[in-house]
């Protein structure tokens, strides 16, 4: 009898695809022969939109790419523009940014944890993860007034100064979080159901991971020690003491442990940041690029003119191109901005970690069972907003 494979369509409206991802599975019985991800269902043209906007007006666009970690996106974009404009931000801004970016790492990992565990059957996990996420969202709300689309990190600093209760909120979070992480471990780490669904599933070797140019937990899960925070420190990460979590076998279980460890390391960084937060201005003083203080706008003619021109016309960037990569929760998030000397970027290209990591889905799925495809998608930790942009 002739052997035939069956083509099975998964998504784009499948709850386990975390959005509108479509995967075409070629199955031989219960075994996956080939898995082809199809992207583009959430294409919003964000890169193009950013090109048509003044530099500062593109920040809200970055929020909407990886909406689970908006602060990281803000940070990546602002660092890129600051590099282009050659702006040095005050120390306080650097520390605050590190603090916020690490919070967003925990936030992103919590959502990943909740949804991934839920995909594999552990429903209560998602409730707990979202409960803890709420604390971070509250901190964001206190900072920028927005819970998800923060737009808090700006070119040359922050939108406003850190709120007075920032330290209190963060310390409360730092106090409560480690115990919660322990709870998660109790729930999942030794849970035989979870282990059987994840151990030796979606395995990728270190060599493959490098060849597929993976980054973030996907790469470190296979034991490759690569982290931009250490390798190419930005925003003052060199001042912080933390370890890079590593996996060994490169399976989904390893990556689960690694992400939990990353959250612990993030807590360490946040602790250091909040303890050592320097005082000072929340914005760099760069006339003609950074908005003057609101107080001056009401009383000083020069400041009013600068404010007016910056809002209506923005600043002109020097000709050239910059690339700034940061270690986002999902991997290396890079912003490439090429400028033709006008007040709008000539081209913005985002290196989205989700998109690049998703490319290895065929490798992860090959030879596994259909139900393991769900685990493979989950373990990559994709956000379709970022994949499709």
Partner 1 sequence: MADAVENKKNIAEGVPTVTLTIDGRETTVPKGTTVLMAARGLGIHIPTFCWHPKLKPMGSCRMCYVEIEKMPKLQVSCALEAMDGMVVLTDSDLVKRGRRAIIEFILMNHPLDCPTCDKGGECDLQDQTFAHGVDDSRFDFQKYRFTEGTEGSTFDDLRIGPEIVLNRNRCILCYKCVRANKEAFGEYDLGAYERGNIMEIHRAPGRQVDNPFSGNLVEICPVGALTNTDWRYKIRVWLTQTTSSICPFSSSGVNTLLYKDDHQQKIFRTTSRPNDDIDDGWLADVTRYGYQIATSPDRLQTPLIKKDGQQVPATWKEALEIINKRLNEIKDKKGRVCIGGIVSPSLDNATLHSFSKLIRVTLGSNNIDYRTQYRMLPKEPENVYDAMSARSFKISDIDDSDVIVAFGSDLVKEHPNEYLRIRKACNFHSASVYSVNPYRVKSADVARREMIYKVGTEEVFLNGLCLAAIEAGMAEGGDLKEKISPSTAAEAAAICGVDAEHLKELAAAMANGRKVTFIAGELVSRSRERLCISSALANLTRLLGLENKGQVSILPHYANSFGAGKLGLLPQPPEGIRNALTELWGAWPEAEPLTTDGMLINMKKEEVNGCIALGCNPVMLYPDREFARESLEKLDFLLVADLYETETTGLADVVLPLASWAEYDGRYINLEGRVQRANRALKPRFESKPGYEIVEAIAEQIGDKLYESSDQCEQEISRLVESSNVQPLPDKYFDVRPAEEESDEEYPIALFVGDDPHHSGHLTEKANSLFNFCGEAYIEMSSELAKKLDLKEGDSARVESKVGKIIVPVRISTTINNDVVFIPRNFSSTTVTALLMRKKRTDRVKISKVVN
Partner 2 sequence: MKEILKALVDVIWKMPQGLLVTFKHMFKKPITLDYPKKKEPMAPRFKGLHYLERYEDGSERCVCCGLCAAACPADAVYMEPDENENGERLAKVYEINMLRCIFCGFCEEACPEEAIFLGREYEFATDSREGFIYSKDQLLVPHPRKESAFKRTIRRIRKIYGVEESR
Residues in the site for partner 2, rule: CB under 8 A? 53, 57-61, 124, 131, 134, 138, 141-146, 149, 151, 159-161, 163, 183, 186-188, 190-192, 195, 282, 291, 293-295, 297-299, 304, 307-308, 311-312
Nearest approach in angstroms of CB 55 to partner 1 is: 15
Q: Which does 52 bind (CB under 5 to 8 A by kind): partner 2, partner 1, none?
A: none
Whether the Cβ atoms of residue 314 and residue 56 lie closer than 8 Å to each other: yes
CB nearer to partner 1: give 303 or 339: 303
Nearest approach in angstroms of CB 183 to partner 2 is: 5
Q: Which does 1 bind (CB under 5 to 8 A by kind): partner 2, partner 1, none?
A: none
Q: Which does 301 bind (CB under 5 to 8 A by kind): partner 2, partner 1, none?
A: partner 1
Q: Which does 144 bind (CB under 5 to 8 A by kind): partner 1, partner 2, none?
A: partner 2
Distance separating alpha carbons of residues 327 and 105, to the nearest angstrom:
9
List Cα–Cα distances, 299 to 180, 284, 285, 293, in angstroms: 50, 20, 18, 11
Among 5, 26, 296, 347, binds partner 1 (CB under 8 A): 296
Among 4, 295, 301, 318, binds partner 1 (CB under 8 A): 301
Within 320-379, the residues that bind partner 1 by CB under 8 A are none
Nearest approach in angstroms of CB 310 to partner 1 is: 8
Q: Report how far Cα 222 is from the mean position of its chain's Cα atoms.
A: 20
CB nearer to partner 2: give 131 or 319: 131
CB nearer to partner 1: give 118 or 286: 286
Kindly state whether residue 56 participates in binding partner 1, applying the rule CB under 8 A.
Answer: no
Q: Which stretch binds partner 1 (CB under 8 A): 148-156, 292-300, 340-348, 355-363?
A: 292-300
Nearest approach in angstroms of CB 97 to partner 1 is: 23
Nearest approach in angstroms of CB 107 to partner 2 is: 16
Q: Which does 300 bind (CB under 5 to 8 A by kind): partner 1, partner 2, none?
A: partner 1
Among 30, 86, 176, 313, binds partner 1 (CB under 8 A): 313
Whether the Cβ atoms of residue 143 and residue 157 lie closer than 8 Å to each other: no
List interacting residues with partner 1 (CB under 8 A).
Answer: 287-288, 292, 296, 298-306, 308-309, 312-313
């Amino acid at each position: 009898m002739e052997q035939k494979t069956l083509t099975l369509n998964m998504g784009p409206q499948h709850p386990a695809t975390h959005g509108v991802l479509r995967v075409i599975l070629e199955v031989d019985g219960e075994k996956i022969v080939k898995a082809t991800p199809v992207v583009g269902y959430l294409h919003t043209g964000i890169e193009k939109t950013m090109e048509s906007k003044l530099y500062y007006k593109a920040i809200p666009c970055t929020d909407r790419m990886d909406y689970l970690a908006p602060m990281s996106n803000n940070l990546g974009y602002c660092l890129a523009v600051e590099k282009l404009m050659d702006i040095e931000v005050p120390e306080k801004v650097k520390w605050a940014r590190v603090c916020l970016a690490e919070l967003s790492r925990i936030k992103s990992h919590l959502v990943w944890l909740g949804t991934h565990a839920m995909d594999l059957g552990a429903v209560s996990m998602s409730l707990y993860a979202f409960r803890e996420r709420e604390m971070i969202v509250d901190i964001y709300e206190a900072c920028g007034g927005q819970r998800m689309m923060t737009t808090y990190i700006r070119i040359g600093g922050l939108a406003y100064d850190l709120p007075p209760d920032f330290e209190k909120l963060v310390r409360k979070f730092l106090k409560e979080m480690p115990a919660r992480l322990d709870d998660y471990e109790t729930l999942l780490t030794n849970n035989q159901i979870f282990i059987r669904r994840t151990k030796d599933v979606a395995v990728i070797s270190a060599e493959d991971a490098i060849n597929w140019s993976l980054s973030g937990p996907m790469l470190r899960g296979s034991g490759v020690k690569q982290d931009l925070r250490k390798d190419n420190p930005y925003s003052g990460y060199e001042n912080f003491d933390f370890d890079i979590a590593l996996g060994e076998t490169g399976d989904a279980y390893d990556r689960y442990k690694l992400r939990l460890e990353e959250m612990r390391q993030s807590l360490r960084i946040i602790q250091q940041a909040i303890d050592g937060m320097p005082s000072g201005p929340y914005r760099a003083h760069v006339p003609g690029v950074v908005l003057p203080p609101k107080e001056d706008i009401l009383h000083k003619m020069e400041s009013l003119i600068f404010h007016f021109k910056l809002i209506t016309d923005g600043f002109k960037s020097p000709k050239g191109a910059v690339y700034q990569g940061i270690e986002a929760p999902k991997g290396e998030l890079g912003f490439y901005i090429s400028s033709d000397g006008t007040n709008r970027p000539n081209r913005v290209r985002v290196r989205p970690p989700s998109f690049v990591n998703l490319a290895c889905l065929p490798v992860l799925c090959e030879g596994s069972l259909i139900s393991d495809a769900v685990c493979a998608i989950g373990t990559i930790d994709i956000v379709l907003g970022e994949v499709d942009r």
